[in-house]
Amino acid sequence: MSGRAASINDYRALAKARLPHFLFEYLDGGSYDEVTLRRNVEDLQAVALKQRVLRDVSDIDLSTKLFGQRWSMPVGLGPVGLSGLYARRGECQAARAAQAAGVPFTLSTLSACSIGEVAQAAPLWFQLYIVKDRGFVSDLIAGAKEAGCGALLLTVDLAVPGTRYRDYRAGLSGSLRRPGSRVAQVLQRPSWAWDVAARGRPLTMGNLEPLLGSGAVLADLMGWVAQNFDASVTWKDVEWVRSQWDGPLVIKGILDPDDARAAVQAGADAIVVSNHGGRQLDGALSSARALPSVANAVGGRMPVLVDGGVRSGLDVVRMLALGADFVLLGRAWAYALAARGEAGVGHVLKLLDAEMRVAMALTGTRTVAEVDSETIDSR
């Protein structure tokens, strides 16, 4: 396939051709048999939009307000681990693309570039995991404050890491391959090796460097996650984070209406309906299936964000119609970053803008607020 892409699926193919096999499998894969991973895409695409005609849709406005700021469209770049390895200093490139498009960028705790480095490139939100070392967590929160992060996304659906068969087979964690497998895979991708492995140094886990050291490799990261993510976390820990963070606090990883109500009571400012991109509990509901009941449980008391399976602007409109106020991209922007860096991410955001405008015009909606359950054809 050439370097041209007309859709997010095209970018997936380009990313597969450019990334070393183990990195692509880490990005593309889900847990166990990947049932939920497939459901995220299929259930969302199965939502039928209601076509309406002879309405004045000459002026479409995609802008929306969230956390006191107006964004160009109800879309943001969600956290994607290791994205700084998909292109040279990849998180910085993606953050710049998001800023240029007028949408937020979220940095993962498991990033290659540190909070401070990315904040120098563009404004950002920060995604936080709670680990056993609470002092380290406090330091991360303080770092997010110092960097002026616009929101803190506390991810709560990783009490234990889901098993991802693709990572084992590809040689990323608990390798089923010989020790030199990753090196051989890198040598098969000379463009990536030159751009990232050679010119992209230092290759560290930026936010985790105080714990992992500067010479950490991916195998160290996977082992560290398994040993250090805290399975004892409860809603009291959410209150503990709230006590240290006075900006918008978003609870990410909600699928159950009761958990959504608990997030309201815990003092969160928003939630993200998410199953971690199908990377945790395989067989869980897709985000699209879980979204309506969660949104109803919240009842307008806080914004509802969502991620999972979004591959087009039509999917964004579907999520809005199902009850979301804002949509986060994951693999969609990471594929583009891997394929074409900052330009690829910028292009994906332009594609979503154009596709949303078509979908809204043909459903007779002119503003984001007008997209609701009536936009869905339930026949």
pLDDT at position 246, please? 95
Instruction: List all residues 6 or more positions away from 131 whose beta carbon is below 8 Å from its beta carbon.
Output: 137, 228, 229, 230
Q: Is residue 17 in some structural domain?
A: yes
Q: Is residue 379 in some structural domain?
A: no
Q: Is residue 3 in some structural domain?
A: no
State the number of CA atoms in the 13 A half-sphere of 178 facing the CB: 5
Give me the number of domains the chain comprises: 1
CA quadruple 328, 152, 98, 277: dihedral positive or negative? negative
Global pTM value: 0.94
Per-residue pLDDT of the chain (379 residues; tens, 9 = 90+): 445 899 999 999 999 999 999 999 999 999 999 999 999 999 999 999 999 999 999 999 999 999 999 999 999 999 999 999 999 999 999 999 999 999 999 999 999 899 999 999 999 999 999 989 899 999 999 999 999 999 999 999 988 888 888 888 887 765 555 657 888 888 889 999 899 888 877 777 777 777 766 555 555 566 677 788 888 999 999 999 999 999 999 999 999 999 999 999 999 999 999 999 999 999 999 999 999 999 999 999 999 999 999 999 999 999 999 999 999 999 999 999 999 999 999 999 999 999 999 999 999 999 999 999 999 999 9
- Is residue 347 annotated as part of the catalytic site, yes or no? no
Closest CA to 126 of 105, 112, 157: 105
Q: Is residue 204 in some structural domain?
A: yes
Q: Is residue 1 in some structural domain?
A: no
Q: Which one from 18, 276, 311, 331 is the annotated catalytic residue?
A: 276
Domain residue limits at 128: 8-369
Domain containing residue 257: CATH number: 3.20.20.70
Closest CA to 277 of 214, 322, 328, 317: 328
